[in-house]
Amino acid sequence: MVAEKILNHPSVRVRDRSAVVEKLNAILKGGNEQLAVISDFDFTLTKSIDEKGQRCL
């Protein structure tokens, strides 16, 4: 399963693994005809500090 391979990568961290698996499977099932990718290379969209004030990137 592709979703499990992605989630087992050492740099991947998720809070709700089963929800992410469902979402990845839905994306894969839907195909690439209407897939849009948003890249956050400069971290303007990414939360960089967690609830405890720790850097999470």
| Local confidence pLDDT in tens for the 57 residues of the chain | 778 888 899 988 888 999 998 998 898 899 988 888 888 777 777 767 778 888 776
Decide: 10 and 17 in contact? Cβ < 8 Å: no
Q: Using alpha carbons only, how large is the chain's radius of gyration in Å?
A: 14
Domain count, the chain: 1
- Counting beta carbons within 10 angstroms of the beta carbon of residue 21, is it exposed (0 to 12), middle (13 to 18) or buried (19 or more)? middle
The overall pTM is greater than 0.75: no
